[in-house]
Structure 1
Amino acid sequence: MSEKLVPYGLMALVVISPLPFGGNLPWAWAVYAIIAALLVIAYSIETARTRTAFPVPLSRIAVPAILVLGVAVWIILQAFPVLPATWANPLWAIVPEALEVPGRGTVSINPDETMEGLMRLLTYSGVFWLSLQLSRDRSTGERFVKVIGWAIAAYAAYGLLLWAFNSETILWYEKEAYQGDLTSTFVNRNSFATYVGMGCVILLILLMRWLTIEFADRQNMPWSKRFVHIVGSSRELVLYALPLLMVFCALLLTHSRAGFGATLVAMLLAFALWQSRQHRGFIAGMIGLAVLMVVIGYWIVVGGDALLARFADVNSSTETRMNVYIATMRAIGDYVWTGSGYGTFNDIFPMYRDESISVTGVWDKAHNTYLELLLGLGIPGAIALIAAVLWLVVLCAVGAFNRRRGRHMPLIAFAVSVLVGLHALVDFSLQMAGVAITYSALLGIGVAQSWSTREKHP
């Protein structure tokens, strides 16, 4: 029973994570954390009961595991008054005088927010761990990838349906912002753009893989007959090509400049890396590239007017964002080693907001995940966390180049990492649970399939 419970439970968690406003609600984070913890416990108990080793030993990911563990310990130390008083945030010295309450003397300016941030980090780590272990079986990993791709297509289809009926709602609530932009169940168009961008990468690679296999299996047939056969294979076109069309259409209608740009870079990179290993699939690759270019061109002409207009108006928002980045870097300079507390940007930034930033609007995110990490964790902690993720991404890149069977899975994880990594430079999509949980699952799948089953464990 538990053998099926854990994989289906993980799959359900990943699929539903974007449903309540992209996962951008405190109660949703708590529910996801509980589900992920229960699944990890259930999997560990089942492994112990059957006396079997983990499919992916810890030694395979020892370095990133140690780095993430170190960051988790540091976050706990930030949230509790256990470090020397000289390490405490200097603002705590002002609190008793200003509010007539005793200061807590912690590194974090908001320990509660810091512990909530730890809960989310551990949730994403748990999703990665389960995905890593379960996806060592290639058929399970392939099933996970397909389900994630189709789930993203379903969210895109829901958003397209709302857009077709001019419905400015999120679920059953009226939109408070981003009228005219497709956001599906997300509040923010940029976060949804990252989400459907991952779907574009997944479905493109799955489509390319199917085309390559089809052409290889019929290499003795004239290419024209092979093409006719592929066009007539309606089942695969419905499974991959149609969903790809939907998610790309949804991406354009988000009108997210950075989301579109990062997705396009990731898709072209994925295509180039896939074709670099194909010797007999050149024609299939060219057909795939032609289809991709036609789709991109068509939808830009038909539905991309607003997106192109936003590209033309890039200067108006860029200046404000740059001023926010400069103010954030000033804050980082005051908390170089200890940080202000993981997840406390909203608490610390108002003290650094100056006249260069408009008085309208609330900046509760830096719109740059890396800067927020540097401010919250301090430079050493942020470098450790970023390095842990980069280590795993490199494993996926190596697998995408070296593997023969199953290489599409590490390639998907690598290309998606490029997408979310680029978008994180100018936005906060990775700070949305729906995006972060989906990405964690894909990264786990990619790492699990980054080496051949013929290789012995280190």
Structure 2
Amino acid sequence: MSAVASVLIAIVVGFSSFWLGSNRPLAWSVNAVMVGGLLMFTCLSLQLEARRHPALMISRLWAAIVMFGLGMCWAVAQIIPLGSATAGHPAWQVAGEALGRDMPSTISINPSETLWAIVRYLTAASVLLCVYVLARSAQNAQTILRTFVILTGLAALYGLTRLSLSLDKILWFDEPDTGYLTSGFINRNSAATYFGMACLASLGLVIQKVRTVLQSTSHDSGREVVRKLSLAMAGMLGFDLVLFVLMFVCLLATGSRGGISFTILALFFMLLLYGVKATMRGRSAGGGLAWIAIILVIAALMLGVFELSGARLTGRLLDQGLEAGARFEVYAQTWLAVRDYLFLGSGLGTFQDVFTAYRLELSAGRKVWDKAHNDYLELLLGLGLPAAALVLMSFASLFSKVTRGFFARHRDTHYAAISAAACVLVGLHSLVDFSLQIQANALAFALLLGVGLAQSWSTRA
């Protein structure tokens, strides 16, 4: 049953990108119901397979779980009616005076938006927990990651089809053609984050296959090594390499400056992890020269694809840099709002409601700023400093665990490497965009992080 649950959770996450990145209330509701049902199904499967399933070792995640849980508890407290308590948002008093009656106040300026934000956070957390529990089995971990990568490949093909045919629809939804690849997303920056994570996952699978081949050639001649690699290219290694190139082409076709730049940094961070580990152990799988060759081949491949497909990105970087000037003014105005709501917050997910009072004429022709283009600032504004710090510390704790797990494990280290690199990508891109506020990205990140955590310590413990 756990194998079935592994496929199903990967399918739910993989298909979440096709429906406008699941960035609609109906999609949030459907995903929450499906993920919640799968979490219960996973618990049932573990009851039936308890003797054959590796120990869960949930105790190693308690600190992160408690910190995240406290942050979410505060978000719930923000939508509890407080009567006329002074802690409530002053907007409720103004509304009561305008309507001529007392209105129960809440800390959140918009409780319904805060409730939706809680649902999204808990859905992603449920995906992480479900994947973690299932992926403690190495076979389930492989099933989850492989299914996810294949589905992202379908999303990539769909995106390239839309781009090449200049289609003005995403499925049955009207969406003007922008000349950039978005696949099932509306925003190309969100698509860049998604395909960036897919690049990391497919590259991790490529590296694992190559290392497996090289481990069996430690005493072979150079000609024999080349022969075995060539044979592997006819199998799954070639398939994974094609997927990596496909994802990287799609990433470049998004034209997202931040998404592409940070993905490349994350890719090299992954290679750096392997290089440091090889140095620490005084050797690498298949020999030092072979490992250097792997890095050079992958780097050359990335540069070659970039040369063929990255002209538009280069032009945008030269003309505009990594950020548009208006966003820096948004950051400054958002920080003023953060200072006004420093401890209690304005309510998780209420940036648009609050920013109306702080915004300037930041961009001619733009009527609404519904995102700060910085997830950290939005989290600080929504939850307040204490609760936001707890949530961010929980993610930092998980990043630390997968990074240490990569260096501690001897087998299947690619899961932890992919997770750590995904943390780097999402962590950096969240500085200049709202990647994790698009649910398809949040669920994909939760899946990769869950697999990495599950395989960060021995399954025989």
- The answer to whether TM tops 0.5 is yes
> Which residue pairs with 1:131 in the alignment?
131
Amino acid at match of 2:229: I
TM-score (norm 1): 0.93
Cα deviation, residue 71, structure 1: 1.4
Aligned-partner Cα distance in 2 for 1:50–1:200:
33
Residue of structure 1 in register with 2:433 after alignment: 427
Instruction: Report matched runs for 1:340-351 at 5 Å.
Output: 340-351=346-357
Measured after TM superposition, the shift of residue 335 of structure 1 is 0.3
In structure 1, distance between residues paired with 2:293 and 2:99 = 68
Per the alignment, in what secondary structure is the counterpart of residue 94 of structure 1?
helix
With normalisation by structure 2, the TM-score equals 0.93
Q: Is the 8 A contact 2:403 2:416 kept in 1?
A: yes
Deviating more after overlay: 77-86 vs 190-199: 77-86
2:406 touches 2:413 (CA, 8 Å); kept in 1? Answer: yes
Matches within 5 A, 1:319-358: 319-358=325-364
Equivalent pair of 2:10/2:145 in contact (CA under 8 Å): no
1:36 maps to what in 2? Answer: 35
Opposite residue 131 of structure 1, the aligned amino acid is V
Q: Distance in 2 between matches of 1:443 and 1:213?
A: 23
The number of residue pairs the alignment matches comes to 453
Which residue is equivalent to 2:448? 442
Which amino acid letter does the alignment assign opposite residue 428 of structure 2? Answer: L
Q: Does 1:373 align with 2:379?
A: yes
Equivalent residue number for residue 413 of structure 1: 419
Q: Deviations over 1:96-154 (max 9, x none)?
A: 23355643310000001111111111111111111111111112112212222222222
* Corresponding position of 1:189: 188
Deviations 1:361-400 (A, max 9, x none): 4211111000000000000111000111111111000001
Superposed, which structure 2 residues align to 1:21-420 within 5 Å?
A: 21-47=20-46, 55-82=55-82, 85-100=85-100, 102-176=102-176, 179-233=178-232, 234-278=234-278, 279=284, 280-314=286-320, 317-358=323-364, 360-420=366-426
- What amino acid is aligned across from residue 222 of structure 1 in structure 2? S
Equivalent pair of 2:89/2:346 in contact (CA under 8 Å): yes
Q: What RMSD in Å do the two structures reach over aligned CA positions?
A: 2.1
Q: In 2, are the aligned partners of 1:396 and 1:447 still within 8 Å (CA)? A: yes
- Relative to structure 2, which stretch is displaced further, 372-381 or 41-50? 41-50
Separation (CA, whole Å) in 2 of partners of 1:45 and 1:285 = 43
Deviates more, 1:321-330 or 1:280-289: 280-289
Contact 2:54 2:460 in 1 (8 A): no
Match of 1:13 in 2: 12
**CA distance in structure 1 between the partners assigned to 2:334 and 2:353 by the alignment:** 12
User: Which residue pairs with 2:281 in the alignment?
Assistant: none
The farther-off stretch of 333-342 and 49-58 is: 49-58
| Range 96-105 or range 272-281, more displaced | 96-105
Amino acid at match of 2:218: Q
Q: Distance in 2 between matches of 1:439 and 1:310?
A: 27
Deviates more, 1:444-453 or 1:431-440: 444-453
Bigger Cα displacement from structure 2, 247-256 vs 309-318: 309-318
Q: What is the rounded CA distance, in whole Å, between the counterparts of 2:115 and 2:97 in structure 1? A: 26
Distance 2:3 2:436 in 1: 29
Q: Identify which range, 321-330 or 206-215, moves more after superposition.
A: 206-215
Shift of 1:47: 4.3
Q: Is the 8 A contact 1:153 1:244 kept in 2?
A: no
Which string of whole-angstrom CA distances, capped at 9 and with x for unpartnered residues, describes residues 164-221 of structure 1?
3333432244423x61100111111011101111111111121112112212212232
CA distance in structure 2 between the partners assigned to 1:399 and 1:152 by the alignment: 26
Look up the SS of the partner of 1:68 in the other structure: helix
Once the two structures are TM-superposed, the CA of residue 48 in structure 1 deviates from its matched residue by 5.2
State the secondary structure of the residue aligned to 2:412: coil
Structure 1 unmatched runs, 5+ = none
**Higher mean Cα deviation, 25-34 or 274-283?**
274-283
Unmatched runs of 5 consecutive residues or more in structure 2: 279-283
| Cα shift at 1:8 | 2.9
Q: Identity over aligned residues, as a percent?
A: 32
Find the aligned partners of 1:245 and 1:8 in 2 and give their Cα distance: 24
Give CA-to-partner distance per residue, 1:300-325, whole Å, 9 cap, x none: 22221211111012259531000000
CA contact (8 A) 2:209 2:237 kept: no
Post-superposition offset of 1:13: 1.2
The CA deviation at 1:69 is: 1.5
Q: CA deviation at 1:291?
A: 2.8
Q: Which moved more, 1:229-238 or 1:362-371?
A: 229-238
CA distance in 1, matches of 2:241, 2:321: 36
| Amino acid across the alignment from 2:356 | P
Structure 2 distance, partners of 1:35, 1:28, is 10
Contact between 2:35 and 2:123, CA under 8 Å: does it hold in 1? yes
User: CA 1:188–1:328 in structure 2 vs 1: closer, same or farther (change >3 Å)?
Assistant: same
Which stretch of the first structure deviates more once superposed, 231-240 or 267-276?
Answer: 231-240
The amino acid of 1:415's aligned partner reads A
